[in-house]
Amino acid sequence: QVQLVESGGGLVQAGGSLRLSCAASRRDYTIDAMGWYRQAPGKQRELVATITSGGSTNYADSVKGRFTISGDNAKRTVYLQMDSLKPDDTAVYYCKVKWRLRPGATGSFDAWGQGTLVTVSS
């Protein structure tokens, strides 16, 4: 069982920045990929950005050029640097990790963080 602890959310004015972090509680497994998702009021959860253990990244069109996802394999932590924030970025942000027991193991598992609230005021 893997637990994820998120931090870094808060209230910021439009144009400001925040940095989210998500740390895994266990070190005895292999991480395939980690990502950030968000759910705005009245909307479904959507993908924001993902990063593989090899460093390959993917971003939603709405955040390209403004958000940067990065990871620290040693710390088993993923970050989301959010710059030029807009009111539309207001949402609960969730960290997700895809993991397996060891490299090459059959089957993978997903774990979700508890969510951290980001509020961007105009």
pLDDT in tens, 44-96: 999 999 999 889 999 999 999 999 999 987 888 999 999 999 999 999 999 99
Read off the pLDDT of residues 101-121 as tens digits, 9 standing for 90 and up. Answer: 888 899 999 999 999 999 999
Host H or E run for residue 87: none
The strands making up 4-7's β-sheet, listed across from edge to edge, are: 4-7, 18-24, 77-82, 67-72
Q: How close are the terminal C-alpha atoms of the chain, in Å?
A: 40
Among 5-19, 32-46, 96-110, name the one with the lowest average pLDDT: 96-110
pLDDT of amino acid 26:
72
pLDDT of amino acid 73:
79
Task: Specify the 3-state DSSP secondary structure of 53.
Answer: coil
Nearest in space to 97 (alpha carbons), one of 80, 82, 76, 72: 76
The single-letter code of the amino acid at 113 is G
Query: Are the CB atoms for 68 and 48 separated by under 8 Å?
Result: no
pLDDT of amino acid 27:
73
What secondary structure letter does DSSP report for 35? E
Q: Give yes or no for residue 1 having a pLDDT over 80.
A: no
Q: How far is it, in rounded angstroms, from Cα 22 to Cα 35? A: 9
Question: Six-digit token pair at 64?
Answer: 């390209």
Question: Six-digit token pair at 16?
Answer: 């400001």
